[in-house]
Amino acid sequence: MSLAESKTNLLGLTRAELESFVEGMGEKPFRARQLMKWLYKRNVSQIDEMTDLAKRFRERLKEVAEVRTPAITLTQVSSDGTRKWLLAMDGTQGIEMVFIPEPDRGTLCISSQVGCAMDCSFCSTAQQGFNRNLTAAEIVGQVWLANRELGFQPGGDRVITNVVFMGMGEPLANYRNVVPATEILMDDLGFDISRRRVTVSTSGLVPQMLRLAEETNCALAVSLHAPNDRLRDELVPINRKHKIAELLEACWRYVEKQNARSITFEYVMLDGINDKPEHAYELVELLRGRPAKLNLIPFNPFPQTKYRRSSAAAIERFRDILNRHGVIATTRRTRGDDIDAACGQLVGRVNDRTTVRLGSKLISVAVQS
């Protein structure tokens, strides 16, 4: 391990952890608050710039701690304003992060793992397999970095209003790093994002969902994708272990424990596979009268996939059946198509930079080494 890596990355510490860290250095716990202000309210990464800390403390802090963010390999900006960053993790490994601006909010989609082990058949990350978990500091570091890249000004308007764990990886398979990261995102001394605007998305790890209900209070999204076990077993293999009935039980428990409004269910629209009227009626049976919202995601194709995106007409028909029968369903608008930033496309061109597609619709491309 190099000297740099042996230093504690301050971005990974929750308020309580930062307090014990500074106490361990013989300082008063309020130093942790001062540090958090520099880190999250002013976006400062150089300990030397944290001028209200005593010089002697800063010198000692520099010996044991630092602020380390993921390094940017490539930045792409889509014609619709969506931004995608390729981030180098260690050497050859990479993840992607996407920012989606909308008139009333700015959503940052972050990754929780390099690769993924869940093996969902329609997801491009699955093709890469699982590489490793991200640390809490690497997760928080994405948000910190995006703030800087998006020109966040201390005291100015928020640029990132929502954070979703819908990038690469299964967040609940990396529970011990994801949970502290959500805490830092929601802490008023941290990024201070409201709990309804930090969303963990899961393919359905039931035991971890039950634990999450007890231990945090962020929002939960569940990748459902099929209305019956036969089909879901095929699309989302974790279903072979935790069936739909068990999954939904955990969802309702989550809402109850959290006093949340609802669970968002993601449903990828695959042509001829899960997009027929009978599937919509099966979903009505599962979700009617429940605290559920359904988000229909047009499938985003990637090389070597056997699936196709459902037609706009099929998606509309599907949505109408649900809405007519009392299940709230909306269609997610596809964003960042021209830069492969859409859901499920967060992969792999990472490992071979020469194949990054620079489509004609691209407005600007900045390569950073």
The single residue of 109, 116, 120, 343 carrying the catalytic annotation is 343
Which residue number places its CB atom closest to ligand SAH? 344
Taking the complex as a whole, the smallest distance from the CB of residue 227 to ligand SAH amounts, in Å, to: 15
CA dihedral 291, 295, 296, 301 (to 10 degrees): -140
Taking the complex as a whole, the smallest distance from the CB of residue 369 to ligand SAH amounts, in Å, to: 29
Taking the complex as a whole, the smallest distance from the CB of residue 264 to ligand SAH amounts, in Å, to: 10
Q: What separation, in Å, do the N-terminal and C-terminal C-alpha atoms of the chain show? A: 23
Pairwise CA distance, residues 198 & 183, whole Å: 10
What is the torsional sign of CA 122, 294, 310, 105?
Answer: negative
Residue 47, CA atoms < 13 Å, CB-side half-sphere:
21
Q: How many CB atoms lie within 10 A of CB 365?
A: 13
Residues from 249 through 268 that contact ligand SAH (CB under 6 A): 266, 268
- Single out the segment in contact with ligand SAH by CB under 6 A; choices: 48-56, 58-66, 134-142, 292-300: 292-300
Beta-sheet pairing, 8-9 with 65-66: parallel
96 in catalytic set: yes
Nearer to ligand SAH, 127 or 323 (CB): 127
Q: Measuring CA to CA, which residue among 223, 128, 129 is closest to residue 172?
A: 223
Size of the site for ligand SAH (CB under 6 A): 18
Asked if 115 interacts with ligand SAH (CB under 6 A), we say no
Q: Which of 133, 199, 223, 274 binds ligand SAH (CB under 6 A)?
A: 223
Please name the residue that has the structure tokens 């805490």.
183
Residue type, 339: I
123 in catalytic set: no
Asked if 201 interacts with ligand SAH (CB under 6 A), we say yes
Beta-sheet pairing, 130-133 with 113-115: antiparallel
Taking the complex as a whole, the smallest distance from the CB of residue 129 to ligand SAH amounts, in Å, to: 14
* Pair 109, 164: CB distance under 8 Å: yes
- Single out the segment in contact with ligand SAH by CB under 6 A; choices: 2-10, 87-95, 201-209, 286-294: 201-209
The single residue of 27, 96, 138, 183 carrying the catalytic annotation is 96
Enumerate the H helices of 297-352 as residue ranges. 312-324
Asked if 122 interacts with ligand SAH (CB under 6 A), we say yes
Catalytic residues: 96, 343
> For binding to ligand SAH (CB under 6 A), which residues are involved?
118, 120, 122-124, 166, 170, 201-203, 223, 266, 268, 297, 299-300, 343-344
